[in-house]
Amino acid sequence: MISDKLKERVLILDGAMGTEIIRRAGKSFNFPEILNLEAKDLILEIHRDYIEAGADIIETNSFGANRIKLSEYGAESRVEELNIAAVEIAKEARKGKEVLIAGSMGPVGKLINPLGELSESDVYKTYAEQAEALEKGGADLLLIETQIDILEAKIALIASKESTSLPVAVSISYPLEGGRTVTGSDPETASIAFSSTDADVFGLNCGGAPEDFEEFIGKILLHSSKPLIAYANAGVPEKKDDRVFYPLGPEEYAKHAWKFYELGASIIGGCCGTTPSHIRLISERLRGRKPLKKKEERHFFSASSRNSSLIVGNSFPFRIIGENVNPFGRKKLNQELKEGKLELVREYARRQEKAGADALDINLGKKGESSPEFFSSAIRELQSTTKLPLFLDNSNLTSLELALLSYAGKAVINSVNGERNSYESFFPLANKYGASVILLAMDEEGIPEKAKDRVRIIERLYKMALDFGLHEEDILADPVVLTISTSQQNAIETLKAIEMIKSIGIHTVVGLSNLSFGLPRRKLLNSSFLPMAMERGLDSAILNPLDENLCSVIKACDAILARDRGMRFYIEKFGKELEIEVEEKRDFKSNAPEDELFYAIIEGEEKKAEELTKVLIKKGENGFDILEKILSPALKKVGEYYEKKIYFLPQLILSAEAMEKASKVLAPFLGTEGKAKRKLKIVIATVKGDLHDIGKNIASLVLRNYGYEVLDLGKNTGAEEIVKTACSQKADFIGVSSLMTTTMDEIEKVVKLRDSMAPEIKVVVGGAAVTPSFAREIGADAYCKDAMDAIRKIEKLSGESK
């Protein structure tokens, strides 16, 4: 009925009920549905005003009249009574006029497991009960509205369809900046999720600003061929003198409504804050107009999860469907699944998502086939593990149905083949849940050897799928990859089949890894086959996303075959990869070990530095000369590089480590000259309570290699221990650091203790929380910004700056 009308003209939906009750009654009600019994006239008057203003559809006052919501007021047993009363009032209001009554069904107010505590069947029963009551009362259609979770909305739709014979409209609310539902679905994703369900109308209401609706409508229509319903709030609510009000008046709102119409909406009305005056103006402007929505040609395949979508098609990049959640050939996973555990499954899912998979194939082996509860609980858990759309790789009808019921979005059934019991059970299932399918080139007689026979099966299945009510965008075809180890013709036939299927206009997928089964260097074979298949038109494959080389090949082929427009993804991946200038090894002519050692320190090559020092010692070089003429100048150079920012911190550290290795080799050969010159001694520590010592360790390393004798007392060291050690060891310096403000008082303790016990020892301080002024205040001798700064300050303090 409604769809016939929509062919003729745009339908006007009424405006707000809730805010209108508040406006007229002068107060708000926690439980507005009770007014259907207690203040019938108020509701009747609102309906009448909207009809008089020109509404073609009025919504019953039953938004929260579901069992779960009503239980908050102890009214859970009154579902039928309140809904029927709601419809009765609407019927009375429309007497003698041609107006449709939409039974309003809002969210139940709680989320479904694992986001919340409700089970899918709780939600199903709740909506079924309300829908039945609304139908019994005499509603003409059902409006599942202001939905914040696409799974709840989907279950509501299925429940309504199965328990009534009414047309059903589904409307989602995107309340946020950035345009996502509370549970994270954007309009495009939500639209895909409902594109192939049997909702009669799909759209959006409530939520953000009406101007956002304009953008969202475009996105929804990319994927939805259903009549679009749009009714926004009268602007974003503002607060004035403790009262919330909606800023847009009838004229301003009507302009937005006109825009909704121009963009392709066919049922237009108002949500919170709109009044009969708003609706009157909309009706005046839109009455009698034909819907502008054109039939979009969609030549792509789609699937979605709650938070992301998958589009497969000629002009889109090749899609990677992760194959790793499959116990075949994976012992550990197999074992885990046998034990009923899902840890590895979740880990594999996460890893594949990180590696860049676009969707995941989920095959839980025998356990998944034989235990529907296990499979569906895995699918439920995976939806909170990964945001990627899932391919349900299972051939047990019950497993699939349970999983589909708990799946938020448009899942993919993998797969349907040419056997009668396969297509007769799976196509209706896909249809009921709005899922996509993979058609497999196989029938009762197995997988045909020749490409043309495989294509014949696919063609037959494709036609049947359309007859069962599926659409082009719900179908992928798999011409089957077989291993070339049994027959070398296999790959050639698959390539031919891909090309033939593509020429009919069906999108393709294959399970890639089978190709190399039983052969060495499997990855090589897989990554060589894929470009050939892509050139023939392959759109996607189930493969291992952790194979980096394979994924790089895919990116390259996408660029070459113009699937990657403007080569955006190719350049993103390989182009700017953080514009870090990488320099080749410094080019120096001399092969003399002296020069090489010098550069080994600068380049931070520990092993080389160690080896070359040994070589020089063997050659009879004087240890002290090596230190003074090669190592120290090299490290000094590194220090200069660091100061000039030519080097950054990790390089400074690497050089200091190389220096350390070389010094160790040198130590026994330093002889009397080395010892003659007394090294300055420094006691270094991180103060009590502070467990973070990275900075201190670096300072300690660098100081050691600049020729200081460093006594490192580690972290969490008491003031007394620090100062006492410094005294007993006759140290020249104490270096202390603290990361946090709460431990800075410990630094002060160290300084005070030094003042009383050993005023001749200098204290230098540093660490994230420490500032120069703090250092001055407590009477420290110097503040050091970092390790190099410490060297400078200590040299200065000891009056022997070089």
- What amino acid occupies position 695? G
Taking the C-alpha atoms of residue 28 and residue 31, their distance in angstroms, rounded to an integer, is 9
| 783: its two tokens | 């503040």
Which of 18, 184, 531, 633 forms a contact with other proteins (CB under 8 A)? 184
Q: How far is the CB of 577 from other proteins (least distance, A)?
A: 9
Contact string (CB under 8 A) for other proteins, positions 369-388, x = contact: ---------------xx-x-
- Residue 209 in contact with other proteins, rule: CB under 8 A: no
3-state secondary structure of 289: coil
Cβ proximity of 139 and 87 under 8 Å: yes
- Residue 51 in contact with other proteins, rule: CB under 8 A: no
Which of 223, 410, 688, 762 forms a contact with other proteins (CB under 8 A)? 688
- Residue 579 in contact with other proteins, rule: CB under 8 A: yes
- Residue 691 in contact with other proteins, rule: CB under 8 A: yes
Toward other proteins, which CB reaches closer, 23 or 452?
A: 23
Taking the C-alpha atoms of residue 536 and residue 372, their distance in angstroms, rounded to an integer, is 38
Please, which residues bridge with residue 34 across strands?
Answer: none
Taking the C-alpha atoms of residue 396 and residue 426, their distance in angstroms, rounded to an integer, is 10
**DSSP calls for 608-677:** HHHHHHHHHHHTT--HHHIIIIIIHHHHHHHHHHHHTTSS-HHHHHHHHHHHHHHHHHHGGG-HHHHHHS
Torsion sign (Cα): 25, 28, 29, 34: positive
Cβ proximity of 470 and 431 under 8 Å: yes
Within residues 587-616, the interface with other proteins by CB under 8 A covers 603-604
Toward other proteins, which CB reaches closer, 483 or 697?
A: 697
**DSSP calls for 341-373:** --HHHHHHHHHHHHHT-SEEEE--HHHHHH-HH
Find the part of the chain contacting other proteins (CB under 8 A) among 60-68, 149-157, 273-281, 739-747: 739-747
The DSSP 8-state label assigned to residue 573 in this structure reads I
Toward other proteins, which CB reaches closer, 519 or 649?
A: 649
- Residue 676 in contact with other proteins, rule: CB under 8 A: no
Q: How far is the CB of 413 from other proteins (least distance, A)?
A: 25
Toward other proteins, which CB reaches closer, 198 or 657?
A: 657
- Residue 205 in contact with other proteins, rule: CB under 8 A: no
Which of 109, 237, 249, 313 forms a contact with other proteins (CB under 8 A)? 237
Phi, psi angles (nearest 5°) of residue 81 = -55, -50
Toward other proteins, which CB reaches closer, 237 or 707?
A: 237
Which of 690, 712, 748, 781 forms a contact with other proteins (CB under 8 A)? 690
Cβ proximity of 410 and 436 under 8 Å: yes
Which of 354, 420, 730, 796 forms a contact with other proteins (CB under 8 A)? 354
Which of 9, 40, 432, 692 forms a contact with other proteins (CB under 8 A)? 692
Q: How far is the CB of 471 from other proteins (least distance, A)?
A: 31
The DSSP 8-state label assigned to residue 140 in this structure reads S
**DSSP calls for 379-436:** HHHHHHH--S-EEEE---HHHHHHHHHT--S--EEEEEESSHHHHHHHHHHHHHHT-E
Toward other proteins, which CB reaches closer, 698 or 780?
A: 698
- Residue 654 in contact with other proteins, rule: CB under 8 A: yes
Q: How far is the CB of 184 from other proteins (least distance, A)?
A: 8
Contact string (CB under 8 A) for other proteins, positions 103-142, x = contact: ----------------------------------------
Toward other proteins, which CB reaches closer, 391 or 647?
A: 647
Does the bond joining 415 to the residue before it have cis omega, within 30 degrees of 0?
Answer: yes
Q: How far is the CB of 578 from other proteins (least distance, A)?
A: 5
Taking the C-alpha atoms of residue 403 and residue 378, their distance in angstroms, rounded to an integer, is 8
Torsion sign (Cα): 588, 590, 595, 601: positive
- What amino acid occupies position 178? G
- Residue 182 in contact with other proteins, rule: CB under 8 A: yes
- Residue 584 in contact with other proteins, rule: CB under 8 A: yes
Which of 583, 587, 760, 800 forms a contact with other proteins (CB under 8 A)? 583
Other Cβ atoms less than 10 A from the Cβ of 190: the count is: 32
Helix (H) or strand (E) segment spanning residue 159: helix 150-163
Helix (H) or strand (E) segment spanning residue 606: helix 606-618
Q: How far is the CB of 645 from other proteins (least distance, A)?
A: 4
Q: How far is the CB of 130 from other proteins (least distance, A)?
A: 23
Cβ proximity of 474 and 506 under 8 Å: no
Find the part of the chain contacting other proteins (CB under 8 A) among 123-131, 625-633, 725-733, 736-744: 736-744
Toward other proteins, which CB reaches closer, 465 or 609?
A: 609
- Residue 166 in contact with other proteins, rule: CB under 8 A: no
- Residue 571 in contact with other proteins, rule: CB under 8 A: no
- Residue 18 in contact with other proteins, rule: CB under 8 A: no
- Residue 552 in contact with other proteins, rule: CB under 8 A: no
Which of 157, 204, 653, 734 forms a contact with other proteins (CB under 8 A)? 653
The number of residues that bind other proteins (CB under 8 A) is 53
- Residue 148 in contact with other proteins, rule: CB under 8 A: yes
Question: What residue spans of 184-273 are helical by DSSP H?
Answer: 187-195, 210-223, 250-263
Which of 697, 721, 752, 797 forms a contact with other proteins (CB under 8 A)? 697
- Residue 646 in contact with other proteins, rule: CB under 8 A: yes
The DSSP 8-state label assigned to residue 769 in this structure reads T
Q: Which of 492, 474, 473 is nearest to 482 (CA)?
A: 492
Toward other proteins, which CB reaches closer, 187 or 511?
A: 187
Q: How far is the CB of 182 from other proteins (least distance, A)?
A: 5
CA 556, distance to chain mean position in Å, is 25
- Residue 644 in contact with other proteins, rule: CB under 8 A: yes
Find the part of the chain contacting other proteins (CB under 8 A) among 62-70, 409-417, 483-491, 575-583: 575-583
Taking the C-alpha atoms of residue 21 and residue 34, their distance in angstroms, rounded to an integer, is 12
Q: Which of 683, 679, 685 is nearest to 711 (CA)?
A: 683
Q: How far is the CB of 746 from other proteins (least distance, A)?
A: 8
Q: How far is the CB of 103 from other proteins (least distance, A)?
A: 25
| 600: its two tokens | 């080994």
- What amino acid occupies position 412? V
Q: Which of 197, 189, 212 is nearest to 156 (CA)?
A: 197
- Residue 689 in contact with other proteins, rule: CB under 8 A: yes
Strand duo 301-304 + 309-312: pairing: antiparallel
Within residues 700-729, the interface with other proteins by CB under 8 A covers 701
* Contacts for 759 with CB less than 8 Å, ≥ 6 apart: none
Which of 370, 742, 771, 798 forms a contact with other proteins (CB under 8 A)? 742
Find the part of the chain contacting other proteins (CB under 8 A) among 160-168, 393-401, 686-694, 771-779: 686-694
Other Cβ atoms less than 10 A from the Cβ of 668: the count is: 9
- What amino acid occupies position 742? T
- Residue 580 in contact with other proteins, rule: CB under 8 A: yes
Terminal alpha carbon distance of the chain = 94
**Residues at the interface with other proteins (CB under 8 A):** 148, 175-177, 180, 182, 184, 237, 239, 354, 384-385, 387, 578-585, 603-604, 642, 644-651, 653-654, 656-657, 660, 688-694, 697-698, 701, 739-743, 746
